[in-house]
A and B are shown apart, each in its own frame.
Chain A
């Protein structure tokens, strides 16, 4: 295992007395693909919000490599190397697919630095590669609003790939997808393995089996188990959390 990419240290957030995330401590290695599992309300999305800066934590720290990024502004965290895909796919719907990716390829975030025309040949090549990877080459000049739900999800994945962050947070990337689409998504995600550190929130166990290496299970804002697929599936605490202490009778 390489060095640690993301460290959460006793991360908690309090929503007026309700602890959505409670003392979560975990480390994710460079290049690892980690799946976050948990029932509704377990705090998976909130945990992503805390890492990406959408929600400010009440205690605990977040480290990206050795940088403390706790409670930074969102765009600064993004610039530091954390990319995020949302549960509801969000893309730039009035721009063409290619333009969407070009936006993500801007390396310099400032207004004045971007008062220039066009993109470097290298950036354009990169965009072409990403289009190929997400399978939208033919739709490159189509306005993004007209993409299907699955294509929209892939485009958002493409935005992240183009942004090229160290860590990619994926919030339910297969929500609302058909089986075929889910399978294609798993191919894209598997392709990213090794190049990026990836954290995925997902319910779809078929998808999880296709991609997962290590799984962390959250319950009521706390980490209750961590391990590979078999370990998690046989873990008594996980069964209890999911099915209740008596199981299904």
Chain B
């Protein structure tokens, strides 16, 4: 009899095989799009980890996504040909030149007051490192404050929501360093050794697909550890966990930071695939959309949330481009969401789990069934 765990891993393996072989059957036009959806799938994983497993509904996941995106985008901006024009051999982002005050030196160090922040980003790997470090640092500080103070439930959601909006405002307001509303565009390509990741080639798709597979399996393994189990215990009853001797805020902060790292990683991949970073990443609607993906896919399933994100995006792309639905597609997506919340509170993954349960218990029914029946009476007899 295959145990549930074996079936689980088989489903994961099937998912990985599907995304790995997809380019063989996919039109090149879809390659770049699907790569984006896979990035969204990674965001689904981040949301499931913090919402489903840690019980922290983060309505500001876009903050970590945006932080990761901007960090790599700064490096890629400096690597872009637009930063090397104007006759200089040292890169200066074009928007800084356009907005420079007359007479200011056209050097990255001092073209405006804060431009020196860009200096280390001349190294692409500095940008990559910061794309993980910054989200983790923000999450750790935020988590230490919020969870130490034993803030929980909806209040955490409100705080994260406020923080993402605040950062979005700051980014928009810091036009000289961030290019404000316009975001960072005209980026160079991400390079590893001699390999250039043109967003429209199959290598870029595989960069995303392999990253997603690794994150997927990594997150799954993480929740299989004892720490993952204790985290779920904390989610169910913080107080009980505390009186068993666990340092509850440490667990919450750790997994909040892991979720932030995944979102930051997704942000970087998104920049590679879409060649821009913009303050819209930190829009409220985007963060809430991620939560919807996870809810539809199943927030207490890492893979479910990931698939939820991919399915909804493929669906909305298809529906919105189908004639006749062009106007109504948002209503259709909204309807799907409402139906799922009403009838499938554990999402698509919950449905799949019930199905697997039924198969597994039917096969082992002869041994377990009689025990269950005698259950209540044996207790009373004692």
Contacts and interface: CB of A to CB of B under 8 A. Distances in A.
Interface residues of B, number: 33
B245 interface: yes
B323 interface: no
Contact of B226 (A76, A93, A117, A156): A117
Contacts of A114: 225-227, 230
Given A111-B254, A138-B375, A79 B225 contact: no
B232 interface: yes
B248 interface: yes
B321 to A, nearest CB: 40
Contacts of A76: 245
Question: Which residue among B229, B236, B243, B250 has the maximum number of chain A CB atoms within 10 Å of its CB?
Answer: B243
A199 interface: no
Interface in B231-268: 232-233, 235-237, 239-248, 250-251, 254
A163 B244 contact: yes
Contact of A163 (B236, B237, B245, B372): B245
B243 A84 contact: yes
A92 B243 contact: no
Interface stretch (A7-15, A101-109, A203-211, A217-225): A101-109
A104 B250 CA distance: 17
A92 B236 contact: yes
B229 A111 contact: no
Interface size classification for chain A: 35 or more
B25 interface: no
A111 B240 contact: no
Contact of B244 (A103, A111, A150): A103
Interface in B127-164: none
A111 B251 contact: yes
Contacts of B229: 95, 99, 102-103
A91 B379 contact: no
B237 A115 contact: no
A163 to B, nearest CB: 5
A193 interface: no
Contacts of B27: none
B284 to A, nearest CB: 29
A92 B237 contact: yes
Contacts of A197: none
Contacts of A75: 242-243, 245-248
A9 to B, nearest CB: 23
A142 to B, nearest CB: 9
B380 A91 contact: no
A116 B375 contact: no
Given A94-B232, A95-B236, A115 B225 contact: yes
A93 B236 contact: yes
A60 interface: no
A90 B382 CA distance: 23
Interface string B202-223: 0000000000000000000110
Nearest to B226: A114
Contacts of A111: 227, 247, 250-251, 254
A38 interface: no
Contact of B237 (A90, A112, A119): A90
Given A109-B247, A117-B224, A92 B233 contact: yes
Contacts of B233: 92, 95, 100, 103
Contact of B241 (A52, A103, A117): A103
Interface string A69-94: 00000111011000110100011111
A86 B225 CA distance: 28
A106 B237 contact: no
A106 B232 contact: no
A37 interface: no
A78 B240 CA distance: 11
A156 to B, nearest CB: 8
Given A92-B237, A93-B236, A103-B233, A116 B226 contact: yes
Question: Which residue among A83, A118, A138, A156 has the maximum number of chain B CB atoms within 10 Å of its CB?
Answer: A138
B371 interface: yes
Interface in A41-70: 52
A110 interface: yes
B250 A180 contact: no
Contacts of A109: 245-247
B377 to A, nearest CB: 12
A93 B237 contact: yes
Contacts of B380: 180
A92 B239 contact: no
5 contacts: A75-B242, A106-B226, A114-B226, A138-B375, A159-B244
Interface of B: 221-222, 224-227, 229-230, 232-233, 235-237, 239-248, 250-251, 254, 371-372, 375, 378-380, 382
Given A78-B244, A103-B241, A114-B225, 6 more contacts: A75-B248, A92-B232, A115-B225, A151-B379, A159-B244, A180-B380
